Amino acid sequence: MLTDYTAARQLLRHGAELLDAGAPAGPGASMAKLFASEAAVRNTGRAVQILGGSGFIRGVEAERLYRDARITTIYEGTSEVQRLILSRALLK
C-alpha cells in the first residue's frame, strides 16, 4: 500500500513539474490520474478484505473509502479514457 501511495505521489509531482515548465502535461496527468485511482481501488479493496465481513457494513470507514475510491475510476476521466490518452501519446 505504501509503495502505491509513494508511486502515485511521484507521478502527481512529475505531472505538476511538466505543467509548471510549460511542457505538454497531458500524458503525465493521465498517468497520475490512472495510477492513483487504480491504486486507491486496489488498496481500499485490500482494507475491506483485511476487515472481513465487517468491511462491507455500511458506516464502516473502509466501506465508504472503497465506494469513494471506486468512483474515481469512473468520473472525471474514466480509467479507459486515461489509457486511450496514453496510448495516443505513445503512438505519436
Active site residue: 17, 61, 76, 80, which one?
A: 76
- 3-class SS string, 13-33: HHHHHHHHCCCCCHHHHHHHH
Cβ(28)–Cβ(87) below 8 Å: no
What is the Cα–Cα distance from 76 to 63, expressed in whole angstroms?
22
76 part of the active site: yes
Residues taking part in catalysis: 76
